Chains A and B, each alone.
Chain A
Amino acid sequence: MLPDLHALQQGDADVWDEAFRWLWPVVLAVAQLKLQLYFPDEAEDVAIETLEEMVPKVRDVKTVEELRPLAASIAHHRALSLLRERFAKKRAAGKIESPEPVQAETGADYPDPAADSPLAAVEQKELAEGLSRTLSELKPPQGAILTDFFFKGLSYEEIAQKHGVAKNSVGVYLKRGLETLRRIWGRRGES
């Protein structure tokens, strides 16, 4: 059940408990996504800080469905800020502690690990809106098929079998899925 937005905006402690339980998996997943490579121990703190930041922001929210994308957006920005801050300190100190995958591979002078992200420059509100739109416009099974192809490395055959679709329609799902993302997010993937 979704938490009651009006009760949240009135500061009802029980409903906030419910909302925190509902939002926690989202903020933790986003924080871990961004921090797991460099500062995995910080993910939980970033997630808690995100939920704290959510509390006053709920006054500006119009529907309860906006809360999860907003929470994800705040967690994303907080995690990126932490990465930038920590890497700036390391650069200033002239050393970086393990793990240091970027340094090891490129020999670069502690580059900003968030700089490559096509979403790094997207404002918090815009990111939340983009996530909301993606969730509603990426029609099933487009999202799952994109994830299976790009992240699970499944072939067209495996995807067709998994989702019960024709093999020659997998490419169509992928094409439409990518077009949907481009329509929502613009040309942010271009470097």
Chain B
Amino acid sequence: MNEQEFFDLALKVIAQRASEAERAELDTLIARQPELKAEFERLQADTRLAREVLPLVNATEATAPELPGWARGQLQTKVRGTFGRQPAPERATESETLGALWKWRWVLGLAAATAVVTLVVLPVFTRSAPPVIQVAMLDTTGATRGSETNAWSLLRQSWEKATIDSFTDPAALHAWETNWPAPDKSPVVKVVFDPATGEVRLLGRWKGESFGKTLLVEQDLAATLEQARSFIKEKTSR
């Protein structure tokens, strides 16, 4: 019996999913090779640790429910008590204010004229450029598995013109997700498919605002991608 086979058998016994015959087999093995007893005990300890740590790790990634409204005031009181109030802007004297008002009349007049030109003339000539869609998927085992090849095809069908990047390292994917072009460049929407968590994440920068949404792949990926397309269209058609 090799190391992995011993692990599988021992784990089955520890998880109380072994048959009588399997338990007897493990007992015989340990009796024949006493060094395996220490290995079995270490595995018991590892299991105990996993049972304690994993729920905590999963809780650390929780995204629901929402903060109750009543808690906000209490928490903001703590923020003010810790950091103090944000300083109010300095007040100008009355004469400074009057002088500034006259200057502002000119500025406001010009701004109004510019606004008329912008609202009436510019829409005739220009339309907002569509956002650049960037797509990525996490593929920790390489692009050889059937389901993920299928996922790649679905992503390609949904965004024909987009580049689709595949990442095997979650850290590299995270870097990709957080790398945005300069604000003056074309607006960008990032679509991330993470098969491990069953999520499609949408992140976008559109007209100076950021937006984000996470969709769970509940039934099939194609339906979720259709939802994603609708969401992006809704956000970028304003």
- A residues near B (Cβ < 8 Å) are 1, 10-13, 16-17, 20-21, 24-26, 28-30, 33, 44, 48, 51-52, 55-56, 68-69, 71-72, 76, 117-119, 130-131, 134-136, 138-141, 143-144, 146-147, 149-151, 155-156, 164-165, 171-172, 174-175, 177-179, 181-182, 185, 187-191
Contact = CB atoms under 8 A, between A and B. Distances in A.
B181 interface: no
A155 B19 CA distance: 14
Contact of A147 (B54, B75, B141): B54
Nearest to B46: A178
A185 B65 contact: no
Chief secondary structure at chain A's binding surface? helix
A55 B52 contact: no
A178 B50 CA distance: 7
Contacts of B34: none
A123 B71 CA distance: 28
Contacts, number: 167
Which A-B residue pairs are the 7 nearest by beta carbons? A11-B83, A140-B196, A189-B49, A189-B45, A29-B59, A189-B48, A25-B62
A11 B212 CA distance: 24
B55 A140 contact: no
A104 B194 CA distance: 44
B138 interface: yes
A190 B45 contact: yes
- What class of interface size applies to chain B in its complex with A? 35 or more
Interface string B124-152: 00000000000000101100011110000
Contacts of B48: 118, 189, 191
A76 B57 CA distance: 11
A139 B196 CA distance: 10
A13 to B, nearest CB: 6
Interface stretch (B7-15, B94-102, B104-112, B157-165): B7-15
Contact of A143 (B8, B54, B78): B54
8 contacts: A26-B59, A28-B65, A33-B56, A44-B68, A149-B15, A151-B55, A171-B8, A171-B11
